[in-house]
Amino acid sequence: METVVLVKRVPDTETLVRIAPDAKGILLDGARMVMNPYDEIALEEALRLRDIHGGAVCALSAGGEKTVETLRTALAMGADKAVLLTGLESGSADSLTLARAIAAFLRSLPFDLVLAGARAVDDDGYQVGPMVAEFLGIPQLTFAVRVLVEGGAVTCHRAVDGETVVARAALPALVTAHKGLNQPRFASVVGIMKAQKKPVETVTLAGLALPEGKARVETRSVRLAPERAGGLIIQGETPEEKAKVLVRALADAGAL
Partner 1 sequence: MDYEHTREQEMIREAVRSFAEGEIAPVAQELDEAEKFSPELTRKMGEIGLFGMFVSEKYGGQGLDYVSYIIGVEEVARIDGSQAATVAAGNSLGIGPLYYFGTEEQKQKYLPKLCAGEGLWGFGLTEPQAGSDAGGTQTTAVRDGDEWVLNGSKIFITNAASPISMGVTVQAITGRRDDGKPRYTCFLVEHGMRGFTAREMKRKMMWRSSNTAELFFDNVRVPKANILGNVGDGFHQMLKTLDGGRLSIGAMGLGGAQGAYELALKYAKKREQFGQPIGKFQAIAFKLADCAMEIECARNLLYKACWLRDKKKPYEKLAAMGKLYCSETMGRVVNHAVQIHGGYGLMKEYGVERFYRDQKLLDIGEGTSEVQRIVISRYIGC
Measured from the CB of residue 185, what is the shortest distance to partner 1 in angstroms? Answer: 9
Residues 37 and 208: their CA atoms lie apart, in Å, by 29
Q: Are 175 and 147 in contact (CB under 8 A)?
A: yes
Q: Which is nearer to partner 1, 108 or 188 (CB)?
A: 188
Q: Which is nearer to partner 1, 132 or 187 (CB)?
A: 187
Q: Are 138 and 144 in contact (CB under 8 A)?
A: no
Find the radius of gyration of the CA atoms of the chain.
Answer: 22
Chain residues that interact with partner 1, rule: CB under 8 A: 34, 69, 72-73, 76, 186-193, 195-196
Q: Which is nearer to partner 1, 92 or 188 (CB)?
A: 188
Among residues 37, 46, 34, the alpha carbon closest in space to that of 5 is found at: 46
Q: Which is nearer to partner 1, 66 or 107 (CB)?
A: 66
Measured from the CB of residue 33, what is the shortest distance to partner 1 in angstroms? Answer: 10
Measured from the CB of residue 34, what is the shortest distance to partner 1 in angstroms? Answer: 8
Q: Which is nearer to partner 1, 77 or 141 (CB)?
A: 77
Measured from the CB of residue 66, what is the shortest distance to partner 1 in angstroms? Answer: 12
Measured from the CB of residue 148, what is the shortest distance to partner 1 in angstroms? Answer: 26
Q: Are 82 and 60 in contact (CB under 8 A)?
A: yes
Task: To the nearest 10°, report the CA torsion of 100, 15, 59, 42.
Answer: -90
Q: How far are the Cα atoms of 56, 69, 227, 237 from residue 231, in angstroms, in the given order? A: 53, 43, 12, 19
